[in-house]
Structure 1
Amino acid sequence: MPPPDMYKRHDDEVGSSNNPVKFQYQDYQLLHKLYLSNKMKYIDDSFPANFSSIGKGLLSDRDMALVKWKRPPEIVSEPCLVVDGVSRFDYAQGSKLGNCWFLASFGALSCQQDIMDKVIPAEQSFDKDYAGIFHFKFWRFGKWIEVVIDDRLPTINDRLIFVHSRTPNEFWPALLEKAYAKLCGSFADLQGGFVSEALIDFSGGVPMHFDLKEAPANLWNLMESAFKSRTLMGCSTPQGASSKNTVLPNGIVEGHAYTVTGVYKVMSRGQPVRLVRMFNPWAKGEWKGNWSDESSLWMTVSAEDRKNCLSVADNGEFWMSVEDYTKSFDNMDICCLSPDFLDVTSKCSWTSKYYFGQWTFGTAGGSRNNIRTFWTNPQFRVKIEKTDDDCAVGKCPENILVSLTQYKENRHRKQFTNLLICFCVFEIPPEMKAETGKFPVSFFTTQRPLAGTNVFQNLREVMKLFRLEPGEYLIVPCTLNPGENASFVLSVFTKTQCRK
């Protein structure tokens, strides 16, 4: 049993998708009904149309003086939330905000209609029952949160200064960005980040991180399985010598986030070629090497493959070989609701548990270097079941995925400095399986961890996919130093054999 400071969130609790937490206690249904009945347009005083909502460092004093907050009906004559469905080609990044990490997740999100429907609730429009109020849902640190906004958007000379749709009268990208900015504190709080963060906040999934310089041999097969199972994928390029997003001669942008939107295998000159399709959230700027839009290699494949893959539009989307992909990008995140895609042809499934805890006075024991206090860290027991050979190996020999996410209850995303975190996994000896409560300091002086993240990282999430033999284990999440305070979510996925 988990100790009292950790618990599993049930589907019917507040914080589930069907019953999200009301951010700042704002109830969309009540507010919408009130303003509609009074024939008024909603004004959100908690995210006002002024400098505080934009934040520091984004705009010059001159630009700030030119900003006017306008509702979509004041910008165009016939505004729409969505025009002809949601697409990754709908939007382009604003020039004033470096949030490509967030917008790259738009590209992944727009490919998954079921997730998009959860993030952007239905029955919102500028036509029927319009009252200047909209709401969106995000997954934040183990719970779904409903964010209510008014539709006033910052403009200069009647042009949106942050994300905007390529269709002038479509506003879902701008309103979604505003809702996320409100959740994170301000637009400035969206400056800089990791693709995995936004993918998680949109889906409630668990990230699987890959260092592409040490990519596994089966990387493309993993990506193919993820794509077929409609799993979100994003990646980023190494930062160049400057902090600017320099465009390299091959068309790739340094220090930039991209979306993985497809994988495909073609036959070229009698040899199989494994391709990856990428999307640049700038909605322009593409790879210029082999298998790019203008590459002559497309003439070496079948007419059917050209029809299925090739597009010469300068829309930011392009193909490249998996070999060029691993050379051009330095990391990739696969955000899965379940690791089932790893075993798509096996007889296995994955079960999940989410636990919520805190490092506080008395439960923040620090790393194993602090052996006298390490035992005070929260502890979680997990059991690995025995499975038959087909399930034990399958397409994925690993049988457990653990993710640790840290957070603090701070409105502003940029004001939270990540602690150095890690988790350790210990085997519980047979003679100690009957123990209840926390394992004492003596346990940790005699037992060494079998697995874990090994090194401390100052990231919001750390994860590990690995294999354990059948048995019982203890997972201990910890910070580097004793006495460091933060909350955390521990997500544990384990492989089990499907039962008839």
Structure 2
Amino acid sequence: MTSTSVKMIHSLYEAGGEGSPSNPVKFKGQDYKQLKETLLKEGRTFEDKTFPANLDSLGKLEDFSAEQLREVEWLSPHDLCSDPSFVVDGTSRFDFKQGDVGNCWFLSSIGALTLRKSLMVQVVPPDQSFKNDYAGIFHFKFWRFGKWVDVVIDDLLPTRNKVPVSVSSRSGKEFWAPLLEKAYAKVCGSYGDMIAGNPPEAFKDFSGGVHMSYTLSKSPPDLWDVMNRAIQCGTMMGCGTFGGDKGKGIFKKFGLVEGHAFAVTGAKQVKSRGEKVNLVRIWNPWGEKEWNGDWSDKSALWTTVSADNRDQCLKMRNDGDFWMKMKDFCVYYQEMDICCDSPNFVDGDAACQWKCSLKEGRWEAGKSAGGSASRADGFWTNPQYRLTVKAVEGDYQGDRNVLLSLLQKPDEEYRSKVKYHAMGFIIYKVPSGAPRGRLSSSLLQGEQPLKVSEFSESRELIEFHSLELGEYLIIPCTYDANKSASFIITIYSKAEAQME
């Protein structure tokens, strides 16, 4: 089972076209190759005027006083280390740790990304250096709303007393992670605009893949199998603890952090005292502060497993990495997110080659934003998509064979200012003999929708459905009418299907 089991049959870009992985869109029009060639020719180092080294790029940092903000100095890694490196001996989650900016959701996602080496080199181009052809310019690639973009930055990092205010190198001399964070801060608008979020957002921007979220208190009975399939597929996995007052005393007792994002980095079944025990490995982006309950680094339970398992799993160091029992994981963590190129990990259908169809659209107030009230005349002004399920593989017994994703594309440049509309989609079965093109309300008058999704004020809504052979009308809509926003609708299908 691999993460390549999804076939892109429609997309916003053709292979090699603008926005493809090999030909990303130049963010803010900056061409990395041309800029670097000019800098080397002129003997200059890069200073990014589109993301300058000032308080505007730092943004609103609530935990910093005005005096502390005034003390921030933007320094190059050459000012922080006598011999800085971009990467030393490969990339790993142990290369960095979180600083004073509350973006654990993003940094835990980087930790998960480091386990996907092929994707890592796509996001973090490895042919960058502080030694050969150094010009103070670096670049990183993100998937942003249907297209890959190449983001150029200079290497000036915000510091106080020569200590980075945000993510820092654990060794003090490896800087790929602080620079990656700066590139994403530029995309978000500022470092302050990165505060607060959920791992699926970063997972999406690292891959363009599909994600599934699980509420662990209501987890499916096969969650352990799902996690193992996900690991085999080469997915990115994250999790988060409860926020607010729930469990504060328990978290403190067991060394966890409330309202915090972590990476899920492994799963292993061991035999202890004659019984099989399912263990989950988790990483805290702080680079410290670990679980101290059963199966923690100092737990006596490790003496009950084989020497091989103990050598493979147990690392007695304060690096943020720890193991815990699956049952404890589902008690102390609120949710888990899994992101992959393909939904194969959900049901274990390794032979399935998912097809993916992706389209851009927009709701425009007064024109094409009719809201969700299907009985209202305005509802039929919403965008419409016809989906034809042409085949169903295998013995179809109502298995979920279609996954729908609706992703809002904000008009606002600064991430912290984005407000997502409550959105969802309504699905009708198209009557036989219906004309091509848009369908009118009169044609489906009296017909009950086949499916009505939940409506969510979120960046992306994902739902699985079971659809038999036939033709369907999918209407993405905002809950309230006259809400303007762009969106991307993506359909993954197990067998042949066509969207138009």
- Which of 236, 242, 265 lines up with 2:240 in the alignment? 236
- Contact conserved, 2:209 with 2:340, CA < 8 A, in 1? yes
Q: CA deviation at 1:344?
A: 4.4
Q: CA deviation at 1:66?
A: 1.1
**1:244-263 paired onto structure 2 within 5 Å:** 247-263=251-267
Q: Which amino acid aligns with 1:316?
A: G
CA distance in 1, matches of 2:292, 2:382: 51
Q: CA deviation at 1:177?
A: 0.6
Match of 2:4? none
- Contact conserved, 2:393 with 2:494, CA < 8 A, in 1? no
Identity across the alignment (%)? 44
Are residue 461 (structure 1) and residue 456 (structure 2) matched? no
CA distance in 2, matches of 1:404, 1:324: 33
CA distance in 2, matches of 1:236, 1:171: 26
Q: CA deviation at 1:371?
A: 2.2
Stretch moving more, 128-137 or 420-429: 420-429
CA distance in 1, matches of 2:49, 2:203: 29
CA shift in 2, pair 1:388/1:244, >3 Å: closer
Match of 1:37? 41
**1:53-72 paired onto structure 2 within 5 Å:** 53-58=57-62, 59-72=64-77
Match of 2:406? 404
Match of 2:450? 450
CA shift in 2, pair 1:495/1:317, >3 Å: same
CA shift in 2, pair 1:249/1:39, >3 Å: same
- Contact conserved, 2:167 with 2:177, CA < 8 A, in 1? yes
Deviations 1:200-230 (A, max 9, x none): 1111112212122211111111111001111
Match of 1:377? 382
- Which of 86, 104, 108 lines up with 1:81 in the alignment? 86
**1:467-478 paired onto structure 2 within 5 Å:** 467-478=466-477
CA distance in 2, matches of 1:146, 1:440: 42
**1:270-285 paired onto structure 2 within 5 Å:** 270-285=274-289
CA distance in 2, matches of 1:187, 1:370: 45
Q: Which amino acid aligns with 2:91?
A: V
CA distance in 2, matches of 1:8, 1:222: 30
**1:112-261 paired onto structure 2 within 5 Å:** 112-241=116-245, 247-261=251-265
CA distance in 2, matches of 1:16, 1:243: 45
Which structure 1 residue ranges, 5 or more long, are not aligned? 1-5
Deviations 1:239-262 (A, max 9, x none): 122999995211221100011111
CA distance in 1, matches of 2:125, 2:338: 25
Q: CA deviation at 1:108?
A: 0.6
Match of 1:94? 99
Q: Which amino acid aligns with 2:423?
A: I
CA distance in 1, matches of 2:370, 2:13: 25
Q: CA deviation at 1:385?
A: 4.1
Match of 1:484? 483
CA distance in 2, matches of 1:147, 1:188: 18
Which structure 2 residue ranges, 5 or more long, are not aligned? 1-9
Q: Which amino acid aligns with 2:408?
A: Q
- Contact conserved, 1:406 with 1:488, CA < 8 A, in 2? yes
Match of 1:440? 440
Deviations 1:270-322 (A, max 9, x none): 22222211111111111122222222222222222212212221111111122
Secondary structure of the corresponding residue to residue 375 of structure 1: helix
Deviations 1:72-114 (A, max 9, x none): 111111010111110001111012x100000010111111111
Secondary structure of the corresponding residue to residue 56 of structure 2: helix
Length-normalised TM-score, structure 2:
0.92
Secondary structure of the corresponding residue to residue 494 of structure 2: strand
Stretch moving more, 11-20 or 250-259: 11-20
- Contact conserved, 2:233 with 2:340, CA < 8 A, in 1? no
Count of aligned pairs between the two proteins: 485
CA distance in 1, matches of 2:338, 2:196: 19
- Contact conserved, 1:14 with 1:21, CA < 8 A, in 2? yes
CA distance in 1, matches of 2:458, 2:419: 9
**1:225-374 paired onto structure 2 within 5 Å:** 225-241=229-245, 247-342=251-346, 344=348, 346-361=350-365, 362-368=367-373, 371-374=376-379
- Contact conserved, 1:453 with 1:462, CA < 8 A, in 2? no
CA distance in 2, matches of 1:151, 1:346: 43
Q: Which amino acid aligns with 2:445?
A: T
Q: CA deviation at 1:398?
A: 1.7
Match of 1:111? 115
CA shift in 2, pair 1:275/1:236, >3 Å: same
CA distance in 1, matches of 2:387, 2:189: 36
- Contact conserved, 1:422 with 1:478, CA < 8 A, in 2? yes
Are residue 417 (structure 1) and residue 422 (structure 2) matched? no
CA shift in 2, pair 1:445/1:491, >3 Å: same
CA distance in 1, matches of 2:15, 2:432: 34
- Contact conserved, 1:70 with 1:155, CA < 8 A, in 2? yes
- Contact conserved, 1:119 with 1:136, CA < 8 A, in 2? yes
- Contact conserved, 2:361 with 2:486, CA < 8 A, in 1? yes
CA distance in 1, matches of 2:380, 2:45: 55
CA shift in 2, pair 1:345/1:364, >3 Å: closer
CA distance in 1, matches of 2:311, 2:438: 61
Cα RMSD (Å) = 2.1
CA distance in 1, matches of 2:297, 2:229: 25
Q: CA deviation at 1:8?
A: 4.5
Match of 2:428? 426
CA shift in 2, pair 1:43/1:347, >3 Å: closer
CA distance in 1, matches of 2:303, 2:449: 54
CA shift in 2, pair 1:482/1:107, >3 Å: same
Q: Which amino acid aligns with 1:424?
A: I
Match of 1:3? none
CA distance in 1, matches of 2:374, 2:430: 21
CA distance in 1, matches of 2:402, 2:126: 36
CA shift in 2, pair 1:144/1:292, >3 Å: same
- Contact conserved, 1:375 with 1:444, CA < 8 A, in 2? no
- Contact conserved, 1:9 with 1:355, CA < 8 A, in 2? no
CA shift in 2, pair 1:240/1:436, >3 Å: same
CA distance in 2, matches of 1:226, 1:168: 33
CA distance in 2, matches of 1:422, 1:240: 28
CA distance in 2, matches of 1:57, 1:122: 31
- Contact conserved, 1:278 with 1:317, CA < 8 A, in 2? yes
Deviations 1:109-148 (A, max 9, x none): 1111111100111321001110000011011111111111
CA distance in 2, matches of 1:452, 1:110: 38
CA shift in 2, pair 1:209/1:45, >3 Å: same
CA distance in 2, matches of 1:246, 1:457: 31
Q: CA deviation at 1:346?
A: 4.6
